[in-house]
Amino acid sequence: MSGDDEDSIRAQEDFKCAGLVGSNRNKVCLDFLKKLPQYYIDKEEDFLAVHGGPLDPEKIAPPGLEDYDKWLYKRTWQRISEYDFEYLDDYGYHYLPENAFLHAREFFDNGFMIFCGHQHREAAYRNTGMKTERILEHIMVKKEELAGRMVRVKELVREQEANYLIRVGIAGPAGYYSRYGWTKTHFGLMWWEKGTQKVGLFESELEYE
């Protein structure tokens, strides 16, 4: 994949080769992974979880592309655009939050949440009607101690009539990322508290040996 370092590429090739000769376990694993859906939908809690983005690749990829050329459009390789327009580059298809809400209506009517990752930093958007706004910058940051580690928490209350796009960040970073001094790890949690549904975005410092 684009952006992979030599160690990662070598590990992927070793894994694929091991599935072709000798033990059958890697082939079974590869076949299992290929059959997995590119997103998960929870109809009871009204949320869609996806690695990259919720856009339908068949609707955003130009017609006539070969299968190999379509991989950058897949939901696993989509990412939120940092600009006011959508575009494609070697890292995937960069989509606008407004378009994410539009495509998610294939699965939901209203009051849904989209959880994604792929990019390293957290982000949050709220959609009501025709209005989409960034909300992460307006959420107060709290500090808590969890399992002996100080964690920064951004907590938002879910409004039932609003739609949300939440990017939880990267659960690593590990290995290759440590070379560049990336020391923060991110994750998200959703829970109920006194009849109110909340989402928390957590950030902690990693310690490299």
**pLDDT tens, 74-107?**
999 999 999 999 999 988 999 999 999 999 999 9
Q: Do 179 and 163 fall within a single domain?
A: yes
How many Å apart are CA 57 and CA 54, to the nearest integer?
Answer: 9
Q: Do 195 and 132 fall within a single domain?
A: yes
Q: Does residue 174 carry a pLDDT above 60?
A: no
Which residue range forms the structural domain that includes residue 9?
Answer: 1-36
Q: Do 119 and 194 fall within a single domain?
A: yes
Compute the average pLDDT of residues 112-121.
91
Q: Do 86 and 15 fall within a single domain?
A: no
Q: Do 26 and 73 fall within a single domain?
A: no
Q: Do 59 and 29 fall within a single domain?
A: no
How many Å apart are CA 137 and CA 155, to the nearest integer?
Answer: 12
Q: Do 105 and 122 fall within a single domain?
A: yes
- Give me the pLDDT at residue 14, please: 76
Q: Do 30 and 119 fall within a single domain?
A: no
The pLDDT > 70 percentage for the chain reads 88
Global confidence as pTM:
0.83
Q: Do 15 and 47 fall within a single domain?
A: no
Tell how far CA 15 is from the center of its chain.
24
Tokens of 123: 């982000």
How many Å apart are CA 76 and CA 89, to the nearest integer?
Answer: 14
- Give me the pLDDT at residue 22, please: 56
Radius of gyration of the chain (CA): 19
What single-letter amino acid sits at 37? P
Q: Do 81 and 155 fall within a single domain?
A: yes
Tell me the pLDDT tens digit for each residue of 123-158. Answer: 999 999 889 999 999 999 999 988 888 899 999 999
Q: Do 120 and 59 fall within a single domain?
A: yes
Q: Do 46 and 101 fall within a single domain?
A: yes
Looking at the 3D structure of the chain, how many domains does it have?
A: 2
What single-letter amino acid sits at 114? I
- Give me the pLDDT at residue 149, please: 84
